[in-house]
A and B are shown apart, each in its own frame.
Chain A
Amino acid sequence: MKKRFAAAVLAVLMTASLTACGGKSAGSSDAAAGTGEGGTFIYGLSTEINNFDPFTSTTADAKSIYYNIYEGLVKVNEDGSEFLPAVASEVTRDSDSAYTFTLRDGVKFHNGQDVTMEDVTYSIDLAIKSKINGFDNIKDYSVDGNKITINLNTPDIGFLAYMVQAIVPAGSDDNGELALQPVGTGPYAFSDYEVQDHVTLVKNNDYWGEPAHLDEVEVRFLADQTELLTAFQAGSIDGFSAYGGIVSQLEEGTYNPYYSNSNAVQVLALNNAVKPFDDVRVRQAVAYAVDADEVNELVNYGHAVIVGTPVIPGLARYCNTETADDYAVDTAKAKTLLEEAGYKDGFSFTVKVPSVYPVHVDSAQVMVNQLAKAGITMNIEQVDWATWLDSVYTNRDYEATIISLDGATAYPAAYLSRYQSDAGNNFINYKSDAFDAKYKEATTATDEDVQTGLFMEAQQILSDECCSVFIEDISTVRVWAPSFEGCADSPLYAIDFASVSKVQ
């Protein structure tokens, strides 16, 4: 129901944007006549953004903010089904492994310069040098006037997903300047930044597309979700994003909620290389014992979307929604499976949970009770984020963990590639020849519909072999003060400030 409301808002916004596009030549004076223009929006963020280099700062929160500053040659649409031209005005697929982009006329950087082909090649080179996902597949490129043709090593019909990577002015990062002086082409320009305090974005009046409504957005960095809540209740911020548990503390009617996916899947990741999780029956037993609906109810107040696959439901076209029911809660079955696997009296294990994410710690507490019913003892061990990244993610020294995994791009490969047996980021140590073969077939397919089907089958394999227990997309509620409205959906972990405006 609430999702439908968000969709309705979105539809209104899109219509608005279409009309605005129609009268593009009229300029900004025309837009000012409309309602809800201008104003400053103070957005609270529970992590701090400390550098704005889109090539070397790629945490989810950082990307969610500089989504507004930078644009790529293309950008993804709201439901992730297609890529729309952005800095490029036209994209053609010449062959399975060659794409040609035509540079859009009149796109200006925030520093006033026109975007040239030199800037585009500089940005692509920078992305290759920074080892950005997908760019390693670029064999070479050739420039012809305002067109650039990119040739790939291996065919990839999902290649466009990577071309959302920022276009920046040539030479702008020769000495790492982008980190603190970001220059892009997006609807908002970087204005000022104070460490651990705030960053201010101002409206880009020369934006090639539909301009933003607000004059200024101030992103304030607060310590955690609790502080965000307090700050919002006290009126010191106009909006923030949170999960259901936090939003439930606000009084109905004192805020405008926008429900959207968080575009990351919360998973109880099991290390397939350690006992007893090397046994598929034990993994399945855990999956049957965990009641995702109850986690959703207790922690997310029912706002989350239950899934059974690592692909986010936001990528509607690729997400295999049938897997969500594969392991509906069944404690008796869990016990039977444990008995078959030789753990008649249950077993105990430790789950390492990053303490910076209260939603994971809370979900863990709920799961402790659920697993206990099947005779499984789960001990929680909170670790700080740096330790988690190092010992769990990189060194795979753990039994189980709870984490939300996001993808670098709006393309299923970004979510599925880690499950290949030899993937460097396969931190759950999952090994399956069936999956490897299916994944390879899918990524090299040259027909889009065939490819979609193959991605679905690959996800079914993950679910059948129960590589881990996928719980839910925890969903994000964007909470705006009553004086603000609008928030566009996105399959990326992004906040589109251009879609926010003041209520008249």
Chain B
Amino acid sequence: MKYFIRKFLILILTVFLISLMTFVAFHVIPGDPARLILGTSASEEAVEALREKLGTNMPLTVQYRNWISGFLRGDFGTSIKYRMPVASLMHDRIPVTTLLGVMSLVLILLIGIPLGIFSARVRNTPGEHVLNFINILGISFPNFFLSIIFIWIFGLTLHWFTPGRYISFDRDWAGCLRFMFWPALSVAIPQTAVLVKYVRTAMLEQLREDYVRTARGKGVGETAILYVHVFKNAIVAVVPLIGMIIASVLSGSIIIEQVYGIPGIGKLLISSVTSRDFPLTQTLVVYIAVIIVVINFLVDIVIQIIDPRIRLSDRS
């Protein structure tokens, strides 16, 4: 219990540090949202009038204080660029990025775990080298390069999907999934390769353990050993990786959403930074950080449930 309280306090501290970093960053980077909205043809007087209307003429420290006090009351403020509540903007975007993330994760697990097990099984055969090669190749493809290739081959040449035409889930769920498959695959491939490597290593380590030898001695078949005993233990080694993968998927989706034109959290984040939209950026950055921190927290708990022998306080 004490461990969880400590973890929770650290979580709050981390999130606060992140919001402070965003504030400092906005303090030092140049840019004026009012001028961005009005463009080059507007006079300085018009810009000043708009600053007043938007409230960006106040010192940033005051804006930050207002944002924090609002945040603590559950009010994330109003976006300067979009002139609507940050909460409603996020409400529309979170499902989009979540869908991209979940699809990527499903692909990663669906391909990565069986392939990892398989590559553990074919150890010391020529198949191992082939798999190894494919795996290293997978890790070596940057996700945006994959995206360009996918758009070129499957979008423009084979017409399997229509680039630039994001279909929302509410409008047409099947069309949405068909479209999102490609960005999800672009995010998934490099991460899958990482997972395969980890699963394989974990399986091989487990196979060396005493209990496996004992099981073998009792005449339990190789397949049964692999799938029942070893897999259960290997998964403990893989769970922490899932947390890392979710974090990579989240940051990977920022660039992928940009390339495929998906209106998700990542695209909104880039837009909020380039338009110097302080309340929106603050909320998005904190949201992303909370997700990452909470997922790591959950990973700890899952490990604890699967294998209580691991003392939580040892993990950093």
Contact = CB atoms under 8 A, between A and B. Distances in A.
Tell whether A and B belong to one assembly.
Answer: yes
Interface of A: 44, 48, 50-51, 56-60, 62, 129-133, 136, 176, 179-180, 194-197, 222-223, 227-228, 230-231, 233-237, 356, 384-387, 389-391, 393-395, 403, 405-408, 414, 424-425
A234 B162 CA distance: 6
For the complex of A and B, the 10 pairs showing the least CB-CB separation, nearest first, are A231-B164, A386-B31, A236-B165, A59-B39, A390-B30, A408-B41, A131-B46, A131-B45, A424-B44, A196-B263
Contacts of B42: 58, 131, 133, 408
21 contacts: A50-B81, A51-B37, A58-B37, A58-B39, A58-B46, A60-B41, A130-B50, A133-B42, A133-B46, A176-B83, A223-B267, A227-B261, A228-B164, A234-B156, A234-B159, A384-B31, A389-B31, A389-B32, A394-B32, A405-B40, A414-B41
Contacts of B39: 58-60, 62
A196 B50 contact: no
B175 to A, nearest CB: 12
Contact of A133 (B30, B43, B164, B271): B43
A107 to B, nearest CB: 27
Nearest to A427: B40
B92 interface: yes
B61 interface: no
Given A58-B41, A222-B261, A387-B29, A231 B165 contact: yes
A222 B159 CA distance: 19
A237 B261 CA distance: 13
B84 interface: yes
B276 interface: yes
B38 A230 contact: no
A356 B275 CA distance: 12
B194 interface: no
Interface string B284-306: 00000000000000000000000
B36 interface: yes
- Chain B contact-residue range equals 35 or more
Contact of A227 (B156, B159, B164): B164
A390 B29 CA distance: 10
A59 B50 CA distance: 14
Contact of B32 (A60, A231, A356, A390): A390
Interface string B77-106: 000011110000100100000000000000
Interface string B48-82: 11100100000000000000000000000000011
B163 interface: yes
Contacts of A406: 40-41
A132 B46 contact: yes
A424 B43 contact: yes
Given A234-B156, A236-B162, A131 B43 contact: yes
B276 A50 contact: no
A131 to B, nearest CB: 4
A385 B274 contact: yes
B269 to A, nearest CB: 11
A414 B156 CA distance: 43
A129 B49 contact: yes
Nearest to B46: A131
Given A230-B164, A236-B163, 5 more contacts: A51-B81, A129-B49, A179-B83, A386-B33, A386-B36
Contact of A387 (B30, B53, B162, B268): B30
A50 B33 CA distance: 13
Contacts of B267: 196, 223
Interface in B149-171: 151, 155-156, 159, 162-166
B92 A195 contact: yes
Contact of A56 (B38, B92, B156): B38
Given A58-B42, A130-B46, A195-B263, A222 B164 contact: yes
B258 interface: yes
A183 to B, nearest CB: 16
A384 B274 contact: yes
Contacts of B38: 56-59
A206 B253 CA distance: 45
B156 A230 contact: yes
A179 B54 CA distance: 12
A386 B80 CA distance: 14
Contact of A234 (B89, B92, B164, B271): B164
A484 to B, nearest CB: 17
Interface in B86-138: 89, 92
B36 A56 contact: no
Given A195-B89, A196-B268, A231-B163, A389 B40 contact: yes
A379 B279 CA distance: 35
